[in-house]
Amino acid sequence: MSIYDSLNNMQQEATFHTDGPLLILAGAGSGKTRVLTHRIVYLIEEVGVNPYNILAITFTNKAAGEMRERVDQLVGFGSEAIWVSTFHSMCVRILRRYIDRLGYETNFTIYDSDDSKTLMKDVCKRLNIDTKMLREKFILGEISRAKDELWSPEKMRERSAGDFQGAQIARCYREYQEELKRNNALDFDDLIVKTIELFQKEPEVLNYYQERFQYIMVDEYQDTNTAQFELISLLAKKYQNLCVVGDDDQSIYKFRGANIKNILNFEQVFPNTRTIKLEQNYRSTKRILQAANSVIANNVGRKDKALWTENDEGDKVRFLQFDSAYDEADYIAHNIKEEVMDQGNYTYSDIACLYRTNAQSRLLEERLMFLSVPYKIVGGVNFYQRKEIKDLLAYLKTVDSGNDEIAVRRILNVPRRGIGATSISKISDYAAQQRITFFEALSFAGDAGAPRAQGKIDGFIEMIHDFRKEQEFLSLHELATDILEKTGYLAALRDEKTDEARDRIANIEELINKIVDYENNVDEEEPTLSGFLEEVALISDLDRLNEEDDYVTLMTVHAAKGLEFPQVYLSGMEDGLFPSYMSITSGDESDVEEERRLCYVAITRAMESLTVSCAKSRMVNGEWRNSNISRFVLEIDPEVVDASGRGMALHRRQVLEEDPLSSSAKAAFSRKPGNYTKQASFEHREKPADFLASMGVQKGMSSVNNLEEGLSYQVGDRVKHIKFGQGLVTEIKKMPKDYQVTVEFDQVGVRKLFAAFAKLKKI
DNA sequence: GTGCCTGCTCACGGG
DNA sequence: GAGCAGGCAC
Residue-wise pLDDT tens digits, A471-493: 989 999 999 999 998 888 888 88
As a rounded value in angstroms, the CA-to-C1' distance for A417 and C7 is 23
Nearest protein residue to the C1' atom of B10, measured from CA: A621
Give the C-alpha separation, A699 to A136, whole Å.
Answer: 41
Contact, A283 vs A575, CB < 8 A? Answer: no
Q: Which residues of A477-489 are buried (b: 16+ CB within 10 A; e: fewer)?
A: bbbbbbbbeebeb
Whether the CB of A671 is less than 7 Å away from nucleic strand C comes out as: yes
Which residues, at least 6 apart from A165, have a Cβ–Cβ distance to it below 8 Å? A134
Nearest nucleotide to A112, CA against C1' atoms: B15
Q: Compute how many other C-beta atoms are within 10 angstroms of the C-beta atom of residue A452.
A: 12
Mean pLDDT across A749-761: 70
User: Which tops the pLDDT comparison, A283 or A748?
Assistant: A283
Position A524 scores a pLDDT of: 61
Whether the CB of A666 is less than 7 Å away from nucleic strand C comes out as: no
As a rounded value in angstroms, the CA-to-C1' distance for A598 and C5 is 36
Position A410 scores a pLDDT of: 86
Mean pLDDT across A232-243: 95
What are residue A324's DSSP bridge partners?
A617
Nearest nucleotide to A621, CA against C1' atoms: C1
Contact, A560 vs A351, CB < 8 A? Answer: no
Q: Give me the count of residues in chain A.
A: 763
Nearest protein residue to the C1' atom of C1, measured from CA: A622
DSSP 3-state of A527: coil
* DSSP character at residue A316: P
Whether the CB of A387 is less than 7 Å away from nucleic strand C comes out as: yes
Q: Compute how many other C-beta atoms are within 10 angstroms of the C-beta atom of residue A27.
A: 24
Q: Compute how many other C-beta atoms are within 10 angstroms of the C-beta atom of residue A229.
A: 22
User: Which tops the pLDDT comparison, A510 or A576?
Assistant: A576
Mean pLDDT across A507-525: 80
Position A748 scores a pLDDT of: 63
pTM value is: 0.76
CA-nearest of A731, A755, A734 to A743 is: A731
A278's enclosing H/E stretch is strand A274-278
Span of A23-27, A539-543, A569-573, A609-613 with lowest mean pLDDT: A539-543
Chain B bases under 7 Å from protein CB? 1-3, 9-15
Nearest nucleotide to A670, CA against C1' atoms: C1
pLDDT of residue A323 exceeding 60, the answer is yes
Contact, A252 vs A597, CB < 8 A? Answer: yes
Position A679 scores a pLDDT of: 28
Nearest protein residue to the C1' atom of B8, measured from CA: A132
Nearest protein residue to the C1' atom of B12, measured from CA: A357
Contact, A325 vs A618, CB < 8 A? Answer: yes
As a rounded value in angstroms, the CA-to-C1' distance for A112 and B9 is 21
DSSP 3-state of A703: coil
What are residue A186's DSSP bridge partners?
A110
Nearest protein residue to the C1' atom of B1, measured from CA: A420
CA distances from A182 to A59, A399, A438, A612 (A): 30, 18, 9, 50
Beta strands in A519-572 (DSSP E): 552-556, 565-570
As a rounded value in angstroms, the CA-to-C1' distance for A119 and C8 is 28
Q: Compute how many other C-beta atoms are within 10 angstroms of the C-beta atom of residue A209.
A: 18
Alpha helix segments (H runs only) across A401-540: 405-412, 421-434, 438-441, 445-448, 454-470, 476-486, 489-496, 499-521, 529-538
pLDDT of residue A669 exceeding 60, the answer is no
Position A292 scores a pLDDT of: 95
As a rounded value in angstroms, the CA-to-C1' distance for A162 and B7 is 36
As a rounded value in angstroms, the CA-to-C1' distance for A596 and B13 is 14
Which residues, at least 6 apart from A600, have a Cβ–Cβ distance to it below 8 Å? A28, A249, A250, A292, A295, A296
What are residue A641's DSSP bridge partners?
A317
Give the C-alpha separation, A40 to A53, whole Å.
Answer: 11
Give the C-alpha separation, A706 to A614, whole Å.
Answer: 54
Query: A737-742, long-range: CB within 8 Å, 24+ apart, which pairs?
Result: A737/A478, A737/A481, A737/A482, A737/A704, A738/A478, A738/A481, A738/A704, A738/A707, A739/A707, A739/A708, A739/A711
pLDDT of residue A12 exceeding 90, the answer is yes
Active site residues of A: 32-33, 219-220, 250, 605
Position A351 scores a pLDDT of: 95
CA neighbours within 13 Å on the CB side: how many for A424?
16
Phi, psi of A474 (to 5 degrees): -105, 150
pLDDT of residue A694 exceeding 50, the answer is no
With vertex at residue A507, the alpha carbon angle to CA A503 and CA A508, rounded to the nearest 5 degrees, is 120
Contact, A129 vs A209, CB < 8 A? Answer: no
Nearest nucleotide to A622, CA against C1' atoms: C1
CA distances from A168 to A136, A373, A491, A632 (A): 12, 52, 45, 41
Mean pLDDT across A648-656: 38
Chain C bases under 7 Å from protein CB? 1-5
Whether the CB of A619 is less than 7 Å away from nucleic strand C comes out as: yes
Position A36 scores a pLDDT of: 93
Q: Compute how many other C-beta atoms are within 10 angstroms of the C-beta atom of residue A515.
A: 24
CA-nearest of A186, A191, A196 to A119 is: A186
Contact, A283 vs A29, CB < 8 A? Answer: yes
User: Which tops the pLDDT comparison, A382 or A339?
Assistant: A339
Give the C-alpha separation, A15 to A74, whole Å.
Answer: 14
What are residue A761's DSSP bridge partners?
A720
pLDDT band with cut points at 50, 70 and 90 for residue A691: very low
As a rounded value in angstroms, the CA-to-C1' distance for A625 and C6 is 31
What value does the mean pLDDT of chain A take?
Answer: 82
* DSSP character at residue A52: G
Peptide bond into A203 cis (omega under 30): no
Instruction: Determine if residue A622 is left, alpha or beta; phi over 0 gives left, psi from -120 to 50 gives alpha, anything else beta.
Output: left
Nearest nucleotide to A130, CA against C1' atoms: C5
pLDDT band with cut points at 50, 70 and 90 for residue A675: very low
Position A672 scores a pLDDT of: 29
Give the C-alpha separation, A24 to A263, whole Å.
Answer: 10
User: Which tops the pLDDT comparison, A734 or A546?
Assistant: A734
Give the C-alpha separation, A45 to A39, whole Å.
Answer: 10
pLDDT of residue A701 exceeding 90, the answer is no
pLDDT band with cut points at 50, 70 and 90 for residue A265: confident
Nearest nucleotide to A362, CA against C1' atoms: C1
Q: Compute how many other C-beta atoms are within 10 angstroms of the C-beta atom of residue A90.
A: 24
Position A540 scores a pLDDT of: 54
Whether the CB of A670 is less than 7 Å away from nucleic strand C comes out as: yes
pLDDT of residue A715 exceeding 90, the answer is no
DSSP secondary structure string, A368-414? HHHTT--EEE---THHHHSHHHHHHHHHHHHHH-TT-HHHHHHHHTS
Whether the CB of A621 is less than 7 Å away from nucleic strand C comes out as: yes
Give the C-alpha separation, A369 to A375, whole Å.
Answer: 8
The percent of residues above 70 in pLDDT, for chain A, comes to 86
pLDDT band with cut points at 50, 70 and 90 for residue A569: very high
Nearest nucleotide to A387, CA against C1' atoms: C3
Give the C-alpha separation, A41 to A79, whole Å.
Answer: 9
Mean pLDDT across A690-709: 29
Render pLDDT for A170-229 as a digit per residue (tens, 0 to 9): 999 999 999 899 888 999 999 999 999 999 999 999 999 999 999 999 999 998 999 999
CA-nearest of A735, A763, A739, A734 to A753 is: A739
Nearest protein residue to the C1' atom of C2, measured from CA: A672
Contact, A339 vs A351, CB < 8 A? Answer: yes
pLDDT of residue A641 exceeding 70, the answer is yes
Peptide bond into A527 cis (omega under 30): no
Position A652 scores a pLDDT of: 38
Span of A496-500, A503-507, A557-561, A686-690 with lowest mean pLDDT: A686-690
Largest Cα span, chain A: 80
Position A700 scores a pLDDT of: 25
As a rounded value in angstroms, the CA-to-C1' distance for A622 and B7 is 16
The percent of residues above 90 in pLDDT, for chain A, comes to 39
Highest mean pLDDT among A285-299, A509-523, A542-556, A622-636: A285-299
CA distances from A212 to A50, A51, A165, A520 (A): 10, 10, 44, 30
Beta strands in A145-193 (DSSP E): 185-187
As a rounded value in angstroms, the CA-to-C1' distance for A401 and C2 is 33
Please give residues of chain A from 100 to 139 whose alpha-adjacent beta carbon (CB) lies under 7 Å from any atom of strand C.
Answer: 121
Position A103 scores a pLDDT of: 94
What are residue A191's DSSP bridge partners?
none
Contact, A375 vs A550, CB < 8 A? Answer: no
